[in-house]
Amino acid sequence: MSDFTLIEAANGAKPKVAGLAYGGGKMNLPGWKFPVVVDLAGMSIPENVPLLTNHENKTDARVGMVTASVKNASLEIVGEIVSDSKDAQDIVAQSKAGADWQLSIGADVRECELVKGSREVNGQQIDGPFYHVKKSVLREVSVVAVGADASTKMKVTAQFNLKNLKPIQGEVMTEENKNLTAGAADAELEKHDEPQGTPDVQAKAEVDVAATANDAAVNAVKAERERVGAIQSICNGEFPEIEKEAVSAGWTPEVTTKKVLETIRAERPSASVHVSVKARPEGGEMRKTIEAAMCLRCGVSANMLEKSYGAQTVEAGMADMDMPLRQLLIECMKMDGIPYSRGFDNETIRAAFSSVSLPGILSNVANKKLLQSYEAQPVIATKLCSTGDLNDFKENDRFRLTDVGDLMPIAADGEIKDGGLVEESAKNQLETYGKKFCLTRKMIINDDLGAFMKVPTAMGNRAARLIDQLFFSRLLKNPTQIDGKALFHSGHKNLLTGATSALSADSIKKAIQLFLDQVDADGQPISVEPRFLLVPTALKHLAIELTQGATLIMAGGSDNVVRPSLNVIADENLQVVSSPYLANSAYEGNSNAAWYLFGAPGQVDTFEVGYLNGKRTPTVERGETDFNTLGMWFRVYFDLGVREQDHRGMVKANGSAN
């Protein structure tokens, strides 16, 4: 559209608007990773569309009504500014001064696809990546200073300039009738070169037609104002989405009243001048979007959230990342149909706590935050131990079958000899560990979501550390096994003692020999090599030097002999693992000299970390509300059990003469 011109209105005529609302190309929009292209062929266009300022969903932001249509692969609008608000007056005043206005559309996305290649949309060949909005519903058109589509223009005319028209026959061109209203001018443009009857009859007919057209337009505008005013009175600012839809869809006041009484859920209004297309999730999708927004606000990574919610939901949640806790409570009340007042008091908080959506959203957000913290905490035990699933909290027997007897030659008659299986058992038992925390009224009023989320963050960290705590507590106690011997015992051939057991190249070689010489129930080698060298932090660097150095240098002494400089231990590919738990004085049996060899848990049983029915992470749930606390309680619990399984998968060196 070309730049507009404005001519002073006469006799109170309303300014007309016309313009290009959308040129059919790419738009760069906040919250969308790539440009957006709205397919006009798939856009549903209501008969009447509100004209807003800056996409603000407020009653005083509606300045007019327009009709929209698709022409030449673009969306064009015509209509009228009907409001006398300050915004409307500013638009007209700046138009007179020569200001350029642009238009922007507001649409609901019904179907969207990410295009990575190239695709023809709206008669244009568009290169990806871009979001192709295949189906949408036009909800509003807004007057903006800078639109997402730079090709848009709006033309404002107070009336048509009729200075080139012939005067009506029988009339005298005076200052009073030199300019006609827009409606009369339209009628005049259609007829002024088609005279019928006598000049006097023609003049009268033309004047009557102009007056009739003008009266009809005035009556239509008056009726529309009365309808919109009634809808605004019914909604009273409490149901902005109902009000918006009622105005644009042409609802009667009676239909609007019915919708309000049924408490139709409304969305949060949008107030960004740049957001011209937005997805509007409903029902469960709305809840997921809010959950994603709260998770993003708490620092949960978008990549992690996409696995649970999908990329589109996460992108929609980005727009609500700044949602205050107060607004979260109100949105949950809306979703559950719970009445709420404009004020925010204790009753509002209690009502929100009674909803279904709020506890669920907060629990899921806390779970995501706890899981992120849990997975970020390094755990040594999971490297050294196998995992297992237990069905209850009773002490469970963990059976394994060991074959007895080697393969035998098959005789001439083809008979295959029977083999045997020996059932060996160990045990494991689950315990439940947990804590509780509270979202208080003070946190809500202070909008302190960060303080609330510090608790699940810390609990996720501690839940991961709990696995190591249980493992090292059991390992250092050296518990007695079913055969009456300690886990590490000379009778199990998995223990090095004495001064020569201190960590050194020789002691590592001896320990490896003990490991390799272990046999199964049939007396045959188990043929499993050690994979991990577990040491206290004081021995970490020595262990690395011994296992990864290319050569070993002899220190001399009476027992020193000439040896090759090759470090044969490096060929064992032992992975050094150090832990502060081994020498921590809070644990029975701690030592800063003892060290261990472990086999790979996928090849041989060492310890088992047991979980209840495969649940390998802690759980956050809403707890019972405490009447004495104005807040919402949550609890974290973790079902976990750690027990040793087979002494043949481990070797211990005391590291000292004791």
Residue 292 shares a structural domain with residue 359: yes
Q: How many domains does the chain have?
A: 2
pLDDT above 50 for 65: yes
Q: Determine, yes or no, domain membership for 570.
A: no
Q: Quote the CA–CA distance of 352 and 336 in Å, as a whole number.
A: 9
The pLDDT of 65-90, averaged and rounded, is 87
Phi-psi region of 527 (alpha: psi -120 to 50; beta: other; left: phi over 0): left
List the domain range (segments joined by +) for residue 186. 16-171+180-233
Residue that is last in its domain, among 363, 381, 406? 363
Containing H/E element for 451? helix 449-477
0.85 exceeded by pTM: no
Per-residue tokens: 469:
């705590």
Residues 79 and 217 reside in one and the same domain: yes
* Higher per-residue pLDDT: 496 or 371: 496
131 inside domain: yes
The answer on 294 and 206 residing in a single domain is no
- The total of other beta-carbon atoms located within 10 Å of residue 440's CB is 18
Which of 127-131, 193-197, 352-356, 639-643 comes out lowest in average pLDDT? 193-197
Choose between 491 and 353: higher pLDDT. Answer: 491
- Predicted confidence at residue 86, as pLDDT, reads 83
Model confidence at 530: pLDDT above 70: yes
Over residues 425-438, mean pLDDT: 82
| Residue 324: partners with Cβ closer than 8 Å, 6 or more residues away | 447
- 3-class secondary-structure state, position 513: helix
121-125, 311-315, 536-540, 560-564: range with lowest mean pLDDT: 560-564
Task: Tell me, yes or no, whether 229 and 330 share the same domain.
Answer: no
> Does 337 fall in a domain?
yes
| Residue 252 domain-assigned (yes or no) | no
Average pLDDT, the chain: 77
Alpha carbons 39 and 128: distance in angstroms, whole number: 15
Distance CA 452, CA 442 (A): 11
Q: Count of CB atoms within 10 A of residue 232's CB?
A: 17
Per DSSP, the three-state class of 554 is: coil
The pLDDT value recorded for residue 215 is: 60
Listed residues 332, 363, 394: the one ending a domain = 363
Distances, alpha carbon 332 to alpha carbons 7, 239, 326, in Å: 50, 15, 10
Rg (CA), the chain: 40
Contact between 160 and 182 (Cβ < 8 Å): yes
Both 34 and 114 in one domain: the answer is yes
What confidence score (pLDDT) does residue 629 get?
A: 60
Which one, of 84, 89, 91, 90, lies nearest residue 19 by Cα? 91
**Please, which pLDDT band fits residue 202 given cuts at 50, 70 and 90?**
very low
User: Where does the pLDDT of residue 558 fall: very low under 50, low under 70, confident under 90, or very high at 90 and above?
Assistant: low
Do 324 and 210 fall within a single domain?
no
Question: Do 71 and 220 sit in the same domain of this protein?
Answer: yes
Whether the predicted pLDDT of 605 surpasses 70: yes
Residue-wise pLDDT tens digits, 106-119: 888 888 888 989 99
Of 307, 338, 363, the one marking the end of a domain is: 363
- Are 21 and 79 in a shared domain? yes
Q: Please report whether residue 62 resides in a domain.
A: yes
Whether 56 is covered by a domain: the verdict is yes
Q: Is 343 helix (H, G, I), strand (E, B) or coil?
A: coil
Using one digit for the tens of pLDDT, what is the confidence trace for 140-186?
A: 888 887 655 555 544 443 332 222 223 333 333 333 333 333 333 33
Q: Taking 60 as the threshold, does the pLDDT of residue 575 lie above it? A: yes
Q: Which stretch, 263-272, 310-319, 332-341, 461-470, has highest mean pLDDT?
A: 461-470
Q: Percentage of the chain with pLDDT > 70?
A: 74
Kindly list the distances between the CA atom of residue 18 and the CA atoms of 103, 105, 106, 302, in Å, as whole numbers in the listed order. Answer: 10, 14, 17, 42
Nearest alpha-carbon partner for 575 in 612, 601, 607:
601
In a domain, 351, yes or no: yes
Establish if 223 belongs to a structural domain: yes
